């Protein structure tokens, strides 16, 4: 039996169309007639970096209010129309942008694109709906403040991004959410929502050459005279000594620990090397070296893993663990020991081979669905990776050596200069 060549269907320049509308929207499209559905993903300006300090959470509030009513339809009418088709449209928020996504049968794609255009361009922010949303956001904040994982994560980010806008919580705090008024949402939408910097990727059972025309019909007349630009931000600076912070929460059976430091940008030449090294350190198999040492052998953690969280600026390289309160000190020291070993000696050829094969093998799985492909196209555009990135990916990964990983690890990690944030008893 001839093996299936999954790489033959990987997105690349030969099957991705990239166009730009007259008002600056980047449209990426790819056909997939093996599925009757269509998915879109994308982003535009208006992220939490634009929140005033006394209105933290404003970008999130605005995003969550988009579908609460428009100049044409109420919230109920919008959701009933989507539900009747089995379709969906939703929004999220990041530091730099508003994200959006939707899916429907191909025959209903014009309807969900109409909905996206309607709620992005003509929300009315009804007072009654805003108060309901405010109550929901305050409830979420109350739950957040009793969640050990979220509190540890917030404490970690406050330290790793000290003095930097990234240190601020995207969901704000009770005082700032209470302070936000309808006029604030109207002004935020007016200033920061527009076609400049907008990207939309569409994947599914559509002619890819026609997608830009469909987007142009809905968004071609959209303008924003403010022409909002992403703020120029300084690079965060690493700590020069170990920093510890514990957020006490009583009556919790688990303490969550996050420890790490700054990592590479997504566009850095170090990113792929760091990602492969991190796979060995805390992801492969039973969560890599750290999982083997802390969880499997010592039995000190319910869960433990490491991650590279990279974006437009320096991200983080961190280890997260859920630990019984009485085991925190011992688990922390064992994680530090593994990080010290990781920066002192090269990883083995077997570890590189296993992790490289695993990461390469994951790519076709990530790109099996329309949503996976649409998300991938958005990443290619956001980080300017090139439409052929996934075709180059295996060779780039295979070129990384143990010496490369060791040099990269030493550039970012120091077991004696970690931020260690925890929350629980």
Tens of pLDDT, residue by residue over 176-234, are: 999 999 999 999 999 999 999 999 999 999 998 899 999 999 999 999 988 778 888 98
Q: Are 269 and 349 found together in one domain?
A: yes
Q: Looking at the predicted structure, is the pLDDT value of residue 380 above 80?
A: yes
Exposed/middle/buried for residue 27 (C-beta within 10 Å: 0-12, 13-18, 19+): buried
Predicted confidence (pLDDT) per residue in 6-59, tens digit: 556 799 999 999 999 999 999 999 999 999 999 999 999 999 999 999 999 999
Q: Are 325 and 378 found together in one domain?
A: yes
Please name which of 163, 237, 235 lies closest in space to residue 417, comparing C-alpha atoms: 237
Q: Looking at the predicted structure, is the pLDDT value of residue 4 above 70?
A: no
Q: Are 252 and 177 found together in one domain?
A: no
Predicted confidence (pLDDT) per residue in 121-134, tens digit: 999 999 999 999 99
Q: How far apart are CA 246 and CA 418, in angstroms?
A: 14
Q: Which domain holds residue 37?
A: 14-219
Largest Cα–Cα distance in the chain? 66
Q: Are 186 and 330 found together in one domain?
A: no
Sign of CA dihedral 263, 331, 142, 137: positive
Predicted confidence (pLDDT) per residue in 120-166, tens digit: 999 999 999 999 999 999 999 999 999 999 999 999 999 999 999 99
Q: How far apart are CA 117 and CA 345, in angstroms?
A: 54
Predicted confidence (pLDDT) per residue in 92-110, tens digit: 999 999 999 999 999 999 9
Q: What's the pLDDT score for residue 1?
A: 33
Q: What's the pLDDT score for residue 6?
A: 58
Q: Are 338 and 372 found together in one domain?
A: yes
pTM of structure:
0.93
Domain CATH code at residue 55: 3.30.830.10
Residues with Cβ within 8 Å of 328's Cβ and at least 6 positions away in sequence, in order, are: 255, 257, 422, 424
Q: How many CB atoms lie within 10 A of CB 211?
A: 26
Q: Mean pLDDT score of the chain, rounded to an integer? A: 95
Q: How far apart are CA 308 and CA 315, in angstroms?
A: 7
Domain boundary among 219, 234, 262: 219
Q: Output 272 or 2, whichever has higher pLDDT.
A: 272
Contact (Cβ atoms closer than 8 angstroms) between residue 322 and residue 303:
yes
Residues with Cβ within 8 Å of 256's Cβ and at least 6 positions away in sequence, in order, are: 148, 149, 151, 152, 153, 320, 321, 322, 323, 422, 423, 424
What share of the chain in percent tops pLDDT 70? Answer: 98
Q: What's the pLDDT score for residue 8?
A: 61
Please name which of 282, 294, 381, 333 lies closest in space to residue 44, comparing C-alpha atoms: 381
Q: What's the pLDDT score for residue 226?
A: 85
Q: Are 410 and 275 found together in one domain?
A: yes
Q: Are 181 and 255 found together in one domain?
A: no
């Amino acid at each position: 039996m001839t093996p299936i060549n999954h790489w033959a269907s990987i997105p690349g320049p030969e099957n991705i169309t990239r166009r730009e509308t007259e008002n600056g929207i980047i449209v990426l499209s790819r056909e997939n007639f093996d599925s009757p559905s269509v998915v879109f993903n994308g982003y535009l300006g208006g992220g939490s970096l634009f929140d005033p300090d006394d209105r933290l959470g404003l970008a999130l509030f605005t995003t969550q209010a988009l579908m609460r009513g428009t100049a044409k339809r109420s919230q109920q009418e919008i959701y009933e129309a989507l539900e009747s088709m089995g379709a969906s449209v939703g929004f999220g928020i990041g530091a730099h942008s508003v994200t959006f996504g939707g899916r429907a049968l191909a025959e209903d794609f014009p309807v969900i694109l109409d909905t996206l255009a309607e709620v992005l361009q003509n929300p009315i922010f009804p007072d009654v709906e805003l108060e309901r949303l405010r109550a929901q956001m305050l409830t979420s904040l109350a739950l957040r403040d009793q969640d050990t994982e979220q509190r540890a994560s917030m404490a970690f980010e406050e330290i790793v991004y000290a003095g930097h806008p990234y240190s601020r919580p995207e969901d704000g705090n009770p005082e700032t959410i209470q302070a936000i008024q309808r006029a604030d949402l109207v002004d935020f939408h007016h200033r920061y929502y527009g076609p400049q910097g907008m990207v939309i990727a569409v994947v599914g059972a559509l002619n890819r050459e026609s997608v830009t025309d469909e987007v142009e019909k809905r968004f071609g007349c959209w303008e924003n005279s403010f022409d909002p630009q992403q703020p120029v931000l300084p690079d965060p600076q690493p700590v020069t000594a170990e920093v510890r912070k514990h957020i006490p929460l009583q009556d919790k059976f688990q303490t969550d620990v996050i420890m790490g430091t700054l990592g590479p940008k997504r566009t850095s030449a170090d990113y792929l090397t760091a990602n492969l090294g991190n796979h060995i350190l805390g992801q492969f198999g039973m969560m890599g070296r750290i999982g083997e040492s802390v969880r499997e052998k010592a039995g000190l953690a319910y869960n433990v893993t490491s991650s590279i969280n990279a974006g437009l600026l320096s991200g983080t390289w961190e280890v997260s663990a859920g630990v019984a309160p009485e085991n925190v000190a011992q688990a922390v020291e064992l994680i530090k020991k593994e990080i010290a070993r990781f920066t002192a000696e090269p990883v083995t050829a077997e570890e590189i081979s296993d992790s490289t094969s695993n990461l390469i093998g994951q790519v076709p799985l990530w790109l099996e669905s329309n949503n996976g492909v649409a998300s991938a196209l958005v990443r290619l555009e956001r980080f300017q990776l090139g439409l052929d990135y996934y075709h180059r990916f295996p060779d780039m990964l295979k070129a990384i050596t143990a010496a490369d990983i060791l040099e990269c690890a030493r550039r970012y990690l120091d077991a004696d200069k970690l931020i260690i944030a925890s929350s629980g008893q």
